[in-house]
Structure 1
């Protein structure tokens, strides 16, 4: 049975279409595509110095039919569970590890399972809290090394994306588009210059904390806010165009982030507290704050965040969809995404593995319609990441 790390270790935005009215006249330019050659066109107004206003004024066209179901999931823990067996907490709790590699494993995300999808995935480096890891920079470096090795070993099937505008080209080539992300920036405690290392490594988003506290601030199990170093870290990450991820923040840290952020931010994996009242889920006001910044929110499949009806994995489609639908009702049609938390959480039996996403897509289409489902499954996350490149 798949169970959450937490259990084991303890035991918006609308896209601003009105701003893109008519032909692109004075004060606008075609943002073009990166050297990798993306098929989508972007229109960016240059009249505002505010990156949030620029992001909201940036139109990102939908990626066309690729002959396969398109899916963009913001968060999985596959890198750690496959590559960090020699580090804590995996040495003490081997049950949370997976066997195999990125091509084929006994986990939930691998390249074999992704066949048939046009698939983009945020691969997180989860840096555990300090009670398990005394060298967070060393942990980060080892995990990134493993990720890079997997990219090289399986280069015919997967490619790291360092500019989101390259995603359509990677998918058209039949490869998985892999985005490197970070869950807990405790590696920055030694120096904020580590942000430069993350940028060079191609990190595209980064969460400040995990559940506990670190030098940057308090996580969900605390009542601490951001520290002075944490506020400075937000600025450095934003300057590097590494999107700040508010997943796992305490309420106090979240409020501090809203006050100090200058760019759109996101929550990569969470659910609605109005639907299931657990502290890891986000309130309606927090969700709206992300949308106000121009950000997106990924809905997690973690069963303990979806319902209190059961502690098992017999969570129903309707129970999971209640979270998507609640966020959509709050105005999230252009902001709700997939944030599955594969390989890091207990997920419903019928959704255990990336190969189950095609059936999930069909069921969501029946519930929400294909246009909205395409946004949730791919376009909203893709558009956010592209806007973060150009705004």
Structure 2
């Protein structure tokens, strides 16, 4: 019913762009701002799911409250990236925010979610992404060549990603079906445990050496992802699970939205030993914009772009210039107010240039490093 009402009352603007190619209509998601940003993580599908599902997809074109939509992408030079399918738990966001503003904290994790309950939500969020493609807002990419074509043509590039494998059954049948639908990246866990492994809690100060590693199901999941060339995201894995993947996987190790533990001693951030393993695998880390993972004190309060640069410098020092990118966590985190949304990405580019990053390094950090690791993981 809600979908019908929204459909009937669509604006003239939506009527002009429905199902059309934004580039042909003169809408360029990279705009005049270069290099366009390929981003390691966003949660806009969850936000649209909560706002009404398929009916809310149209607000992505006309404008919505949040970090990413087509107008903001155009303004900020957001070229696309990893669009996460995430299964939400019932949590008190106000209480969580209040606790993470304290000098130290350890938030309890939500209970696990059975795959039978998770799968319908995952399919709905994936359907929202494909609806955005039908509306002409983006292209769901299944290869690095698709990504490059989108960047060249000014169309937003989207990778179907799963943050937490709750919707994958023990026999991995859902994984095979979702791969054929377009799934190309998967994190075995969010912070809450799954049948495949264990994540890290929102804990400060702490490292990720918390709990056991991959289960037998998790080892089979890694093997099947390698066979299908689905990228495995380590951002929420605990330390034992991280090292299990490092031993079992034949693909580059990738953390799509994580920061340096040496700069911010949060459980979600990566130690120098973990960064060394990612470097040795020729993998990749995307800088997370979430203020609690940026600030040295781990608190969820605003911070300046200087903290982002501290993490970037450390990651570049440990990983090299070809293995670091951006992983904003837009629509899933509190980000620095100087950025605010995808429209604020020029402020980050300006800060990076003022910090001394030349144009060659800028292009690597903004897009080329992601393209490189995707080509290596997926094939050409």
Do they fold alike, i.e. is TM over 0.5? yes
Deviations 1:179-214 (A, max 9, x none): 111100122234212221121121121100011211
Contact 1:244 1:266 in 2 (8 A): yes
| CA separation of 1:325 and 1:270: change in aligned 2, threshold 3 A | same
Alignment of 1:16-27 (within 5 A): none
Give the structure 1 partner of residue 367 of structure 2: 378
Give the structure 1 partner of residue 100 of structure 2: none
Moved more, 200-209 or 363-372: 363-372
1:218 is paired with a residue whose SS is coil
Give the structure 1 partner of residue 327 of structure 2: 339
1:138 is paired with a residue whose SS is helix
Contact 2:57 2:128 in 1 (8 A): no
Which residue of the other structure, out of 207, 219, 236, is the alignment partner of 1:248? 236
Which residue of the other structure, out of 199, 217, 229, is the alignment partner of 2:197? 217
Moved more, 333-342 or 310-319: 310-319
Q: 2: distance between equivalents of 1:82 and 1:224?
A: 34
Which residue of the other structure, out of 174, 183, 208, is the alignment partner of 2:163? 183
TM-score, normalised with respect to structure 2: 0.78
Contact 1:71 1:120 in 2 (8 A): yes
* Unmatched 5+ stretches in structure 1: 1-64, 88-97
Q: 2: distance between equivalents of 1:81 and 1:232?
A: 31
Offset at residue 377 of structure 1 (A): 1.0
Q: 2: distance between equivalents of 1:341 and 1:86?
A: 21
Offset at residue 66 of structure 1 (A): 8.7
Q: 1: distance between equivalents of 2:218 and 2:312?
A: 31
1:197 aligns to 2:177 (yes or no): yes
Q: 2: distance between equivalents of 1:332 and 1:300?
A: 18
1:267 aligns to 2:249 (yes or no): no
The count of aligned residue pairs is 315
1:213 is paired with a residue whose SS is coil
Which residue of the other structure, out of 96, 99, 121, is the alignment partner of 1:139? 121
Q: 1: distance between equivalents of 2:276 and 2:308?
A: 20
Calculate the aligned-residue CA RMSD, in Å: 2.2
Give the structure 1 partner of residue 60 of structure 2: 102
| CA separation of 1:86 and 1:239: change in aligned 2, threshold 3 A | same
* Unmatched 5+ stretches in structure 2: 1-29, 90-109, 202-209
Looking at secondary structure, tell me which structure has more helix per residue.
2
Alignment of 1:339-378 (within 5 A): 339-367=327-355, 368-378=357-367
Which residue of the other structure, out of 270, 274, 285, is the alignment partner of 1:297? 285
Give the structure 2 partner of residue 94 of structure 1: none
Deviations 1:283-338 (A, max 9, x none): 01111111211210001010001114473543011111111101111132100010
| CA separation of 1:312 and 1:83: change in aligned 2, threshold 3 A | same
Contact 2:143 2:379 in 1 (8 A): no
Q: 2: distance between equivalents of 1:259 and 1:279?
A: 21
1:82 aligns to 2:82 (yes or no): no
Offset at residue 389 of structure 1 (A): 2.4
Q: 1: distance between equivalents of 2:298 and 2:267?
A: 17
